[in-house]
Amino acid sequence: MILFAEKITPRLQYIAGFISTELFNEKWLITADRDFFSSAAKPKINYSDKRISEQEFWICPQGLLSARGVQPQITECFEKNGCKAFFPADGDFAFDVFAASFYLLSRYEEYLAHEKDMYGRYAHENSLAYKQNFLHLPLVNIWLGHFKKALHEKFPSLIFRQQNFRFIPTYDIDEPYAYRSKGFKRTAGGIAKSVIEGEWSLVNDRLSVLAGTRTDPYDAYHFMDALHRKYDLKPIYFFHSGLKTGKYDKNIPISKKKIKQLIRQHADKYETGIHPSWKSGDEKELLLKEIRLFELVSGKKVTASRQHYIRFTLPETFRELIRAGITEDYSMGYGSINGFRASVASSFYWYDLQREEQTGLLLYPFCYMDANSFFEQKFTTAEVLGEMRQYRKVIQSAGGTMITIWHNNFLGSAGRFTGWKEVYEQFIKETVS
């Protein structure tokens, strides 16, 4: 496939690279040579203001990919092929699928003025996907499905890449245990708090766990291991390795013997990554320290991460990750609602809009997190199963990758999460069958 454009920009190269590798097994040849393009006998796309010939697929540019900097865009949506679209254009496709996809993948809107949520994050209510009610859809994948069909109608000889559904279960280990390995100060404080609040059952639970007569309510690791073996899953674990505890960092120091053992056991069997602390977002020097400590404990180099509380700011957070040697990040989603933050269910490289360049940081977007369902959306277990099924359905239809986030405490024996582990296993059983 040959792509013609009057001006070849980093933005065009980036989105053309993403779309071509999604749809084909090779990247497109991009040219600004009109004569070469006109004489080429291969299937070709004309991405310019005027049609050149009838032997091409013409998309008229909206202008975003030839611009620099960030300015508010007109993103008025309309219906096309049963879904939302924006940036209408002349030509053989109803809208500029290149510019629209770039707008969503680059998270262009997050560089514009916006409201923050209570945790200082980009509030999902700002997003076009939320406002236009397509947050629940991997819209970019759906668009590319329609684009693929249109290209095939124009060029029947085209051979496309086979796109298969994948499921990747991931886990955030914020608090490895509810009671174990907490140390005297935190244990005494926890008991005192329960006594003051009259929660005598919690006092008994804690003492039973410490005496070894009861399993810690957050200890779901045997259950998770059995699940992975039974259904042949390849999970990814992200361990909080913060050096300082605080309001949002309630981890147990990985210097503790039991936590070291836990990390090593998982690093030996599964892919693991860092879960940068909340504090590391305020004190930049902590990130590299946390990574080095985790590498020392796990015995493996750390290249993958996911932000604690899904707290990140563009472009600063991702630049810090790159500087620290991270090459894969799994934070692209919201910590306040489930859905597709970048409107995609495929991995993609992060584009730094301020520097106008594609980076080497590969982003893996998630669409579902247990904490969103429980704390934010207040779902019942039946509603949780229904929500996950719906995400699976649309991702399977689009041939994308479904990434979920679960926490060990949701899969343990804590009373407030009764029924959640059963829902999770039911979903996995359906997904891999």
Q: What is the pLDDT of residues 260-274, one digit of tens each?
A: 999 999 999 999 999
Q: What pLDDT score was predicted for residue 204?
A: 75
Task: Identify the helix (H) or strand (E) that includes residue 351.
Answer: strand 348-352
Question: Domain range holding 50?
Answer: 2-154
The rounded distance, in Å, linking the Cα atoms of 24 and 26 is: 5
Q: Do residues 111 and 258 share a domain?
A: no
Q: What pLDDT score was predicted for residue 354?
A: 97
Q: Do residues 256 and 379 share a domain?
A: yes
Q: Do residues 142 and 171 share a domain?
A: no
96: pLDDT strictly greater than 90: yes
Tokens of 351: 């584009």
pLDDT (average), residues 150-161: 96
**Domain count along the chain:** 2
Q: What pLDDT score was predicted for residue 193?
A: 80
pLDDT (average), residues 94-120: 98
223: pLDDT strictly greater than 90: yes
332-345: pLDDT as tens digits: 999 999 999 999 99
Q: Do residues 29 and 66 share a domain?
A: yes
Task: Give the pairing of strands 57-58 and 78-80.
Answer: unpaired
387-429: pLDDT as tens digits: 999 999 999 999 999 999 999 999 999 999 999 999 999 999 9
Q: DSSP labels for 253-297?
A: PTTSHHHHHHHHHHHHHSEEEEE--TGGGTSTHHHHHHHHHHHHH
Q: What pLDDT score was predicted for residue 433?
A: 86
Peptide bond into 315 cis (omega under 30): yes
369: pLDDT strictly greater than 80: yes
135-144: pLDDT as tens digits: 999 999 999 9
Q: What pLDDT score was predicted for residue 56?
A: 98
200: pLDDT strictly greater than 90: no
For residue 206, is it within any domain? no
Task: Give the pairing of strands 57-58 and 44-47.
Answer: parallel
Q: Do residues 271 and 390 share a domain?
A: yes
Collect all residues with Cβ–Cβ distance below 8 Å to 333 and sequence separation of at least 6.
310, 339, 340, 341, 365, 366, 367, 369, 405
211: pLDDT strictly greater than 90: no
203: pLDDT strictly greater than 70: no
As a whole number, the mean pLDDT across the chain is 96
Q: Do residues 107 and 145 share a domain?
A: yes
Tokens of 210: 């410490």
Q: Do residues 234 and 107 share a domain?
A: no
Q: Of 105, 122, 154, which closes a domain? A: 154
pLDDT (average), residues 353-362: 98
Q: What pLDDT score was predicted for residue 254?
A: 93
For residue 377, is it within any domain? yes
Q: Which CATH number characterizes residue 272's domain? A: 3.20.20.370
- Which of the four pLDDT bands, split at 50, 70 and 90, describes residue 37? very high
Share of the chain above pLDDT 90, in %: 90
Q: Count CB-CB contacts under 10 A for residue 382.
A: 10
Q: Count CB-CB contacts under 10 A for residue 326.
A: 22
- Which of the four pLDDT bands, split at 50, 70 and 90, describes residue 49? very high
- Which of the four pLDDT bands, split at 50, 70 and 90, describes residue 212? confident
Q: Do residues 172 and 113 share a domain?
A: no
185: pLDDT strictly greater than 80: no
Residue type, 241: S
Q: What pLDDT score was predicted for residue 182?
A: 83
For residue 198, is it within any domain? no
For residue 257, is it within any domain? yes
**Confidence (pTM):** 0.96
